[in-house]
Structure 1
Amino acid sequence: MSRFRSLIQASLNATKKALTWNVDDLMPPCEKYIFSFNCKEEIKKWHLYSDSEYGGLSSASLEVTDEGDGFKGLFSGTLSLDVMEGSKWNISRSGFCGMRSKKFNGFIDLDSYDTIALKLKGDGRCYISTIYTENWVNSPGQQEDNSWQAFVYVPAGNWYIAKIPLARYLPTWRGNVIDASMEMNPARVLGMSLSVNAEGGVPGARSGPGDFRVEIDWIKAVRNE
């Protein structure tokens, strides 16, 4: 009888262990790499934009460098508030540059995560992190992706991991926060961008026209709760 009980107990223990393993196996990892600038091929996933497309004089570049500590992305350039003489565009502001990822093949699902983390080395400026999600609003004449933005202050000099809760990303329309009752759908993320403006940002951050420079090691989604 004792042998029979031992077999039953061993079977129960094995079943419990298997069930526990299956639950853990189904749970997504606590972090998910979205971008890692660990090779020169990485920059093919991005394209640059700036006010120069509308008559501004700002410029930007994106490259992958290796200064002895492995490959890193380098987003740099010059911000200008001036506008090209004779420009056909009647722009209300200039002084911005950005790097935007090409659309993912389909979308990525970040529903299991609550925070975006970026490992950066900057220049004391405030940058803007943008998440693009599938447009489910379907407003007349609004065919663009939904965009959600949050400020990222990057101290100068040292590597810094910025963590931005998804709840801090606000809905925007062409760079302006919109007053609308919208919720981000993190299960349908189409792309991301990192940009910089000559003006605005958080108090104490460097601002104004001139050079900007930020190194990027990686961008992850993490689960803190």
Structure 2
Amino acid sequence: MSELKSVFEFNKKSNIKQWHIVNDDVMGGLSMGLMQINIQGNGVFSGHVSLDNNGGFCLVRHDVERIPVDKYSFFVLRIKGDGKKYAFRCKSGEHQRHTYSFDFKSSKEWQTIEISFAEMEAVFRGEELKLPNYHGDYLAQIAFIIKNGVEEDFKLEIDSIALK
């Protein structure tokens, strides 16, 4: 297996403007998400998910210059959460409407999560599609989303995202 290739590594000088918040207000919801860099230099995706006005999600995404990833088979996330369920998502093309998604439960301790490309399912607006799972040819976007169907505060600390 090849060594790790960094996709994004947070530090105190990271340009947080490269990460874009998409809240459910695009559909009338009232959830509020935020992306910041903490004193340790980690990315912190936090906020409040509201179910009011058909809401229910917060997402943060980072567009990368489209790169070939066919020499890799896994995403490797170094994260610390709040014990809640999140999903990691990716896109293989900048104009692709659907994403590939993998759900995981965060831990209140630092953890390294390896996600096989083959386990990432095609979804669009939260609905699973009858398409093949992520084939791992190109990468154009990475994202994290929280959408548990409950009103809740959340906090996910991110150190790095890499390929393996």
- Aligned-partner residue type, residue 74 of structure 1: V
Picking from 53, 69, 73, the partner of 1:114 is 73
Match of 1:211 in 2: 153
RMSD (Å), alpha carbons:
1.8
TM (norm. structure 2) is 0.91
Which residue in 2 is equivalent to 1:167? 118
**Which structure 2 residue ranges, 5 or more long, are not aligned?**
none
Aligned residues: 164
In 2, the alpha carbon distance for the partners of 1:162 and 1:97 equals 21
Contact 1:128–1:150 under 8 Å retained in 2: yes
Q: Which runs of 4+ in 1 moved over 6 A?
A: none
For 1:186, which of 111, 136, 148 is the aligned residue? 136
Deviations 1:32-88 (A, max 9, x none): 01011113433121100111222111101100011xxx31000000011111xxxxx
Conserved 8 A contact 2:100-2:133: no
Please list every run of 5 or more consecutive structure 1 residues that lacks an aligned counterpart in the other structure.
Answer: 1-27, 84-92, 136-142, 200-207
**Percent identity between the two aligned chains:** 27
Structure number with greater Rg is 1
Give the match for residue 7 of structure 1: none
For residues 134-192 of structure 1, the C-alpha deviation after alignment (integer angstroms, 9 at most, x for no partner) is: 28xxxxxxx6344111102102x211111111110011122211123x35342321111
Whole-angstrom distance in 2 between the partners of 1:113 and 1:144: 21
Residue 16 of structure 2, aligned match among 43, 54, 62: 43
Retained in 2: the 8 A contact 1:65–1:72?
A: yes
Displacement of 1:30: 1.2
Q: Whole-Å Cα distance in 2 between the matches of residues 144 and 190 of structure 1?
A: 9
Q: Higher relative contact order by CA 8 Å / sep ≥ 6: 1 or 2?
A: 2
Aligned counterparts of 1:144 and 1:111: Cα–Cα separation in 2 = 18
Query: Normalized per residue, which structure has more helix?
Result: 1
Match of 2:147 among 197, 206, 216: 197
C-alpha distance in 2 between matches for 1:154 and 1:61: 18
